[in-house]
Structure 1
Amino acid sequence: MNKLRIDADYLLDQLKALLSIDSPTGYTDNAVRYCSRELERLGLKPELTRRGAIRAVSQGGRREGARAIVSHIDTLGAQVKAIKPNGRLELAPIGHWSARFAEGARVTIYGYENILRGTILPLKASGHTFNEEVDTQPTGWRFVELRIDAQTTSATETTALGVEIGDIVAVDPQPEFLDNGFINSRHLDDKAGVAIMLATIEAFERSGAVAPVDVHWLFTIAEEVGVGASSVIVPEVASLVAVDNGTSAPGQNSSEFGVTICMADQSGPFDYHLTKQLVELCRDNGIDHRKDVFRHYRSDSASALEAGHDIRTALVTFGVDASHGYERIHLDALRSVGELLTRYVTSPIEIARDTKEFSDVRSFTKQPAPEAGDKV
């Protein structure tokens, strides 16, 4: 079979469209609707859970032992924690991210009645007023506030605008796509993963490829708060590959170019056999790749296992510089991850017993071990 080609223009168009839709955890309906419409346009029939996680299935040669690919639609954000006496807003973060990256961000406040704009600022924002204190004040969510773009200098005036505690605050992504392949933006985690999956589906459906087993394309809506793929996986699924960001930083082996395969995160090692298969697919198909271990990281795979799903899991990533901040990636990594996914979903099934939840030990997998007598 000919290699499936990832359409880079389509991938970038999808990433731009996704970045234009605010989707902090808890406010993902519009992004879910967009992804569902695109999946329908690609010829699939998306199904939504009550809260909006998406499952779309490409039928393969067999239903049992299905493969699943997952990325998450939700992003970081904030909520209104309190309305301050000066009319500005105290914030609580959605997901784990530093207030250092919130300072200066333009935002949208989504209330039940009104939608307002504003800016997150440090409490001491003016050097003309506070002199050197603008550089010495602490960093943290207690030391920033949201200035609303409306006439208000009191809690009463802000309340009259329709602002309430708990309102969702979405941070502008401020994307920039450069001709040399670099992409700078907030929320590339995991809008880029969603775009990769859509581009993989587009390549798969365009080619008329047939997978050996059903492929479940999953899009979750609460990964940033630890819920992720806890309730969108059906019993037929035997393996789950998560698509998310890699941690390109000093002390890490991740790269902004090619695929980074995560061998373990804070929840422990990923499945030995599934990870080995992905590494071998990269080697056999000339896909630039490397391995890494993420110490302060979890993904959709962790929530799936914690929910009790007995499935093999793996994590393939595109390297992100300054993750959960103002992030940067490169098109080469996005395209490479898509190429790996196309090879994976069309590759032969290596562990036949995975079609069953239980089987005897005779068909169980093996890992390398020393020959008898080799250990002293």
Structure 2
Amino acid sequence: MNLLVDLVSIPSPSGNTNEVITYVENFLADLQVKTRRNRKGGLIATLEGRDTNHHRLLTAHVDTLGAMVKEIKSNGRLRLDLIGGFKFNSIEGEYCQIETSSGKKFTGTILMHQTSVHVYKDAGKAERNQANMEVRIDEKVHNAEDVKALGIEVGDFVSFDPRVEVTPSGFIKSRHLDDKASVAILLQLIKQIKTDKVELPYTTHFLISNNEEIGYGGNSNITPETVEYLAVDMGAMGDGQSTDEYTVSICVKDGTGPYHYELRKKLVRLAEENNIQYKLDIYPFYGSDASAAIRSGHDIVHGLIGPGIDSSHAFERTHKDSIENTGKLLYYYVQSKLVL
């Protein structure tokens, strides 16, 4: 949980992830795990197994939702263009950070232009969209020239304050649990493998991808020897879903189609044999790095599991039980036989 708090506190909207990748890189270096970066800026760690002719790959993504400066408005505020699939209403009233290309950072708040009910009659009815939402910068600016004098330009990245909190009852609520909860789980898994001196049956790669929210984080750097590819990403909750905040979610199908049937059955069997609480689920408006790999033409067995996350792509929440159940299933999975 402490690791997860650290991760969500590092801004990393898709396209600007170097800082959090460096954090993960240093974490793994302390465990004496060799890593390399791909050209897209993602991180790949490899643990050699007894069988080096057949490989596994597990992935979680460290990039998050965010925004870019679309326009510097004449009133000294900023118009945004969203990065990732979410709605403007989910960030209304949120504190944010603007990072310039030179590395300067400024704080602000995302608000409706028509926020004040004392001034705007339609404050409650106006649509939450790109035209009406803007960033109020915490600097003395009155016009576009004042903003540009700070060094802020179109294309600067905007990240959202995670507002992370761990409750005494075991919940963690924060933005960006998608997918930093899974990244934390994978890092703890690698630490446990190293600490317990677990001998893996197959060489296993861990890809910390950095472009999942825009659709292509895990579609490359898959070795020809890779047989199984398991994405670790959030389980989405809502009406008609079985996923909850206390179990590991095993996805059977998402918006791209069914996941590999035999791998799904193996994951269920591992959960039942080891008293791991799980739920099977379908995510109708969802795609993962595993499905991106399949669409790229890789001949692999693909699967998807993860902790259950409430209010996905908004202000999210999960429970330590879900994180623990996901971690346990992964621990047994990496020691299991391949399905093929």
Letter in 2 for 1:123: H
| Pair 1:176 & 2:199 matched | no
2:202 corresponds, among 207, 210, 213, to 213
State the TM-score, normalizing by the size of structure 1: 0.88
Q: Kindly indicate whether the alpha-carbon contact (under 8 Å) linking 1:53 and 1:232 is maintained by their aligned counterparts in 2.
A: no
- Taking the TM superposition and a 5 Å limit, the aligned residue runs for 1:185-224 are 185-224=174-213
Any idea what SS the aligned residue of 2:70 has? strand
Q: Kindly indicate whether the alpha-carbon contact (under 8 Å) linking 2:263 and 2:339 is maintained by their aligned counterparts in 1.
A: no
Shift of 1:142: 2.3
Shift of 1:46: 0.7
| Separation in 2, partners of 1:212, 1:141 | 51
Higher strand share: 2
| Separation in 2, partners of 1:285, 1:76 | 35
| Pair 1:52 & 2:41 matched | yes
1:263 corresponds, among 219, 240, 252, to 252
Aligned to 1:38: 27
Structure 1 spans left out of the alignment, 5+ residues: 1-11, 352-376
Moved more, 114-123 or 184-193: 114-123
1:313 corresponds, among 263, 280, 302, to 302
- CA deviations 1:95-151 (Å, max 9, x no partner) are 0111111111111101123221111001111112224x2211112232200111111
Letter in 2 for 1:129: V
Letter in 1 for 2:101: Y
Aligned to 1:282: 271
State the TM-score, normalizing by the size of structure 2: 0.98
- CA deviations 1:274-317 (Å, max 9, x no partner) are 11110110011110011000000001112111222111100002
- CA deviations 1:324-347 (Å, max 9, x no partner) are 000010010011100000000011
Shift of 1:82: 0.6
Shift of 1:350: 3.9
2:156 corresponds, among 167, 176, 198, to 167
1:70 corresponds, among 59, 77, 80, to 59
- Taking the TM superposition and a 5 Å limit, the aligned residue runs for 1:121-160 are 121-131=111-121, 133-160=122-149
Q: Kindly indicate whether the alpha-carbon contact (under 8 Å) linking 2:248 and 2:278 is maintained by their aligned counterparts in 1.
A: yes
Any idea what SS the aligned residue of 2:234 has? strand
Higher helix share: 1
Letter in 2 for 1:126: S
Aligned to 1:325: 314
| Separation in 2, partners of 1:141, 1:238 | 43
| Pair 1:228 & 2:217 matched | yes
Identity among equivalent positions (%) equals 38
Q: Kindly indicate whether the alpha-carbon contact (under 8 Å) linking 2:228 and 2:338 is maintained by their aligned counterparts in 1.
A: no
1:301 corresponds, among 285, 290, 300, to 290
1:242 corresponds, among 231, 235, 238, to 231
Moved more, 147-156 or 217-226: 147-156
Q: Kindly indicate whether the alpha-carbon contact (under 8 Å) linking 2:59 and 2:230 is maintained by their aligned counterparts in 1.
A: yes
1:292 corresponds, among 259, 277, 281, to 281
Structure 2 spans left out of the alignment, 5+ residues: none
- What RMSD in Å do the two structures reach over aligned CA positions? 1.0
Aligned to 1:26: 15
| Separation in 2, partners of 1:111, 1:350 | 48
Shift of 1:43: 2.3
Any idea what SS the aligned residue of 2:224 has? coil
| Separation in 2, partners of 1:43, 1:349 | 27
Q: Kindly indicate whether the alpha-carbon contact (under 8 Å) linking 2:97 and 2:159 is maintained by their aligned counterparts in 1.
A: yes
Q: Kindly indicate whether the alpha-carbon contact (under 8 Å) linking 1:212 and 1:349 is maintained by their aligned counterparts in 2.
A: no
| Separation in 2, partners of 1:51, 1:266 | 25
| Pair 1:116 & 2:120 matched | no
| Separation in 1, partners of 2:82, 2:47 | 37
Q: Which has the larger radius of gyration?
A: 1
